[in-house]
Amino acid sequence: MMEDAARIEGLLQAMTLEDKVGQLAMIRADFDAAGSTLLAPKVADITAGRAGSVLDLRGASAILAAQKAAVEESRLKIPLLFTLDVLHGYRTIFPVPLGEAAAFDPDLWERTARAAAIEAAADGIALTYAPMLDVARDPRWGRIVESAGEDPVVTARFAEAKVKGFQTDDLARGDALAATAKHFAGYAAVNAGREYASADFSQRTVEEVYLPPFAASVNAGVAAIMPAFIELAGVPLTAHRALLTGVLRERLGFDGLLISDFFAVAELIKHGVAADTAEAAALALNAGVDIDMASGTYTDGLPEALARGLVRIETIDAAVRRVLALKLALGLFDKPYARGENALAPATVEAHRALAREAARKSIVLLQNNGVLPLSAQTGRLAVIGPLADAPGEMLGPWRAAGEASEAVSFLDGVKAAFPHTVIVYANGAHIPAALEAARSADAVLLCLGETANMSGEANSRARPVVPEAQRALAEAVFELGKPVIVTLTSGRPLVAPWLFEKADAVLAAWFLGSEAGNALGDILSGAVSPSGKLPLSWPFDVGQIPIYYGERPTGRPADPENHDTSKYIDAPNEPKFPFGHGIAYTTFDYGEPRASVETLRAGESVAVEVDIANVGGMAAEEIVYLFIRDPLASVTRPLLELKAFTKIKTLSGERVTARFDLTTDDFSFPDADAIRRIEPGEIEILTGPSADAALLTRCRVRVVTVD
């Protein structure tokens, strides 16, 4: 460490202003017919020390060549940092984050990040722009697919698992990636779900909802954080000194890199807070942003900003120190070519495929089932119908890194493999009569509906997050036949479709499941394993309910069907179609009452909560168990439910298993009226159960006694 510091200071001494600004500048790869490359002007930037990091350059050989230019041809020989969006796998594609969140499985989340890091590092990548930690409650927003859903605690656990999986305990390992927690903060709250629109919420919501996952990532040692593109209440996050420096650096002690989003520094001019490049650069740097991604604003603007007195050289130096520190930590100075040196072993790739199948299987959520599932191996004839049935490329979803459609398993292929004794007939559904023809002779229909990958992800906001209208005619015609119909919904968001849920015999949320989508679906349909995924967000009944989330705050007039003047719609239910945590298995679970290890506790003390869950159905299955709290009386209002912990238990048919949760009084703390997090004395209700559906929760109470 001392040695590192000395090395950094030595380099700083040797650097010109241009060298320093170069370390804060990230250049983007050029693109040609063959893919990404670096054309001569950018290579010249590298050898001249005008670039410290590179975005979107792919392939070990291209990265090696660029790194050699930096290390062997630049004056200071500072290695480059190669960065890419490795979100849910690199070559082996795992389920999209929203899907993988449905597994509620931190161990799995960590293992898939580890596998992605191994694959990406093998191609020379050293930093990924993941995990995304935007608590997301508006399915109109396309990037909800990259989120872990609506809950801050789930997202915090997701943050920890992903940071650990990408980074390991030693960033210098040749197979470790620096992680980037993004997008700080509140990007998911863009107005009316419209991409890049402004957001507006209270400081309380910053503290209660959007900050905790980032705090968890900092505690887990995340290497970098990216501010959101958007503005919050009049201040673009890229220029938000109070949140970036005040909260992240000073309060949370984050000493890693702050990397702007793509062109976000330049966009401060369009936001109307900077007159020119120099002002934009100064605003971002002074707010705490170390690296300007791709916009050239630091390169063009920081020297001028320095000349105008808008920034201090000490601020530039501090940012450079952080860049160099991460490069040192990643081992780039000592082994600049370590990443990308060794191709992946076939056994590794094979293991990652198995992991992808496991992850996809655990991500599938069985939304409803009237008994049609699991499907008998003796099914004579199965019609597989729909635009998403034989669409391996779509299974990869948005942000597929190096994933190839040719290496993905379609639902159709997966089902064929899972039902070797069944005649499978296929129709893509584009021609409805042909699809009906296929269905008419079948014993059951698997109808594969949903979104294509390009309807989800960045800049794919949908004012109508519904099952595409064109698919409705197909589905209605199929339902008319009266056959058992199993529907898969491929999507990056919950899809509003009341007409579908009314008629389908079974519906599975199949997200974008990744490379092994079809095989995972086969595992579930056949009953090889019981479905175990649960919804990481509320699934709306109607577009007009958005935003909808379980953790709403109390009203003075709770909905009462007998009383008109209570909190409800006159034309739709208050409740979502499926609540947070919903997801059914092929067996049934009975929940007991939770037991707390103590009745009262003082600030700083802990309590263990145990609850017995009995598998009273006919099949072994995993069950995700939730622990919520409710603080019924406090100095400020508290949400009706707050998730504090979750766990997954394995059960055999007939078995009773005890789930255990350990809480401390910190879990009962909340920001008071002045937004200072405190623990207040009083009763806390502890609720356990299979979802956020209040009717299914069992409960006990503890009392917090603080000592003055």
Q: Which residue, 22 or 540, has its beta carbon nearer to a second copy?
A: 540
Which one-letter amino acid corresponds to residue 426?
Y
Residue 122 gets which letter from DSSP? T
CB 645 within 8 A of CB 666: no
Strands 485-490 and 506-509: parallel
Is residue 2 near a second copy by the rule CB under 8 A? Answer: no
Residue whose structure tokens are 């580890």: 114
Is residue 498 near a second copy by the rule CB under 8 A? Answer: no
The region of 43-51, 210-218, 230-238, 690-698 touching a second copy under the rule CB under 8 A is 230-238
Is residue 229 near a second copy by the rule CB under 8 A? Answer: yes
Q: Which residue, 344 or 455, has its beta carbon nearer to a second copy?
A: 455
Q: How far is the CB of 638 from a second copy (least distance, A)?
A: 6
Going residue by residue from 251 to 290, which x/- string records binding to a second copy, judged by CB under 8 A?
------------xx--xx-xxxxxx---------------
Q: Which residue, 321 or 638, has its beta carbon nearer to a second copy?
A: 638
Q: How far is the CB of 564 from a second copy (least distance, A)?
A: 5
Hey, which residues between 135 and 154 contact a second copy (CB under 8 A)?
140, 142
Is residue 569 near a second copy by the rule CB under 8 A? Answer: yes
Q: How far is the CB of 311 from a second copy (least distance, A)?
A: 17
Is residue 636 near a second copy by the rule CB under 8 A? Answer: yes
The region of 4-12, 70-78, 229-237, 471-479 touching a second copy under the rule CB under 8 A is 229-237
Q: How far is the CB of 421 from a second copy (least distance, A)?
A: 42
Question: What are the DSSP calls for 275-342, one per residue?
Answer: SSHHHHHHHHHHHT--BEESS-HHHHHHHHHHHTTSS-HHHHHHHHHHHHHHHHHTTTTT-TTSTTSS
* Residues 6+ away with beta carbon under 8 Å from 322: 255, 256, 257, 290
How much is the CA Rg of the chain, to the nearest whole Å?
A: 26
Catalytic residue, candidates 105, 261, 523, 667: 261
- In the 3-class helix/strand/coil scheme, how is 187-211 assigned residue by residue? HHHCHHHCCCCCECCCHHHHHHHHH
Is residue 462 near a second copy by the rule CB under 8 A? Answer: yes
CB 517 within 8 A of CB 408: yes
Residues constituting the chain? 708
Hey, which residues between 204 and 223 contact a second copy (CB under 8 A)?
204-205
The region of 13-21, 80-88, 200-208, 332-340 touching a second copy under the rule CB under 8 A is 200-208
Hey, which residues between 572 and 631 contact a second copy (CB under 8 A)?
572, 574, 631
Buried b (16+ CB within 10 A) or exposed e, 482-512: ebbbbbbbbbbbbbbbeebbeebbbbbbbbb
Among 48, 172, 197, 620, the residue binding a second copy under the rule CB under 8 A is 197
Q: Which residue, 163 or 548, has its beta carbon nearer to a second copy?
A: 548
Q: How far is the CB of 565 from a second copy (least distance, A)?
A: 5
Tokens found for residue 591: 């929940």
* Residues 6+ away with beta carbon under 8 Å from 489: 367, 449, 450, 467, 495, 497, 507, 508, 509, 510
Count residues binding a second copy (CB under 8 A).
78
Q: Which residue, 335 or 569, has its beta carbon nearer to a second copy?
A: 569
Hey, which residues between 432 and 461 contact a second copy (CB under 8 A)?
455, 458-461
- Smallest Cα–Cα separation from 285: which of 134, 295, 326, 48? 295
Q: Which residue, 317 or 685, has its beta carbon nearer to a second copy?
A: 685
CB 248 within 8 A of CB 258: yes
Question: In 56-179, where do the E strands start and end?
Answer: 81-84, 127-128
Q: How far is the CB of 708 from a second copy (least distance, A)?
A: 17
d(CA 151, CA 598): 27
Q: Which residue, 76 or 675, has its beta carbon nearer to a second copy?
A: 675
Residue whose structure tokens are 């396309």: 142
Q: Which residue, 77 or 557, has its beta carbon nearer to a second copy?
A: 557
Q: How far is the CB of 187 from a second copy (least distance, A)?
A: 12
CB 672 within 8 A of CB 589: no
Is residue 232 near a second copy by the rule CB under 8 A? Answer: yes
Is the four-CA dihedral 382, 387, 393, 397 of positive or negative sign?
A: negative
Among 47, 168, 198, 348, the residue binding a second copy under the rule CB under 8 A is 198
Buried b (16+ CB within 10 A) or exposed e, 605-637: eebebebbbebebebbbbbbbbbbbbbeeeeee
Q: Which residue, 161 or 280, has its beta carbon nearer to a second copy?
A: 280
Hey, which residues between 463 and 482 contact a second copy (CB under 8 A)?
463-465
Question: Would you call 76 exposed, middle or buried from its count of C-beta atoms within 10 A (0-12, 13-18, 19+)?
Answer: middle
- Smallest Cα–Cα separation from 146: which of 192, 191, 181, 110? 181
CB 295 within 8 A of CB 263: yes
Q: Which residue, 460 or 491, has its beta carbon nearer to a second copy?
A: 460
Residue 249 gets which letter from DSSP? I
Hey, which residues between 538 and 567 contact a second copy (CB under 8 A)?
542-548, 552-558, 564-567
Among 12, 172, 235, 616, the residue binding a second copy under the rule CB under 8 A is 235
Is residue 342 near a second copy by the rule CB under 8 A? Answer: no
Q: How far is the CB of 702 from a second copy (least distance, A)?
A: 17
Is residue 394 near a second copy by the rule CB under 8 A? Answer: no
Q: How far is the CB of 51 from a second copy (least distance, A)?
A: 23
Q: How far is the CB of 291 from a second copy (least distance, A)?
A: 17
Is residue 680 near a second copy by the rule CB under 8 A? Answer: no
Tokens found for residue 363: 């991500």
Question: Does residue 261 have an active-site annotation?
Answer: yes
Catalytic residues: 261
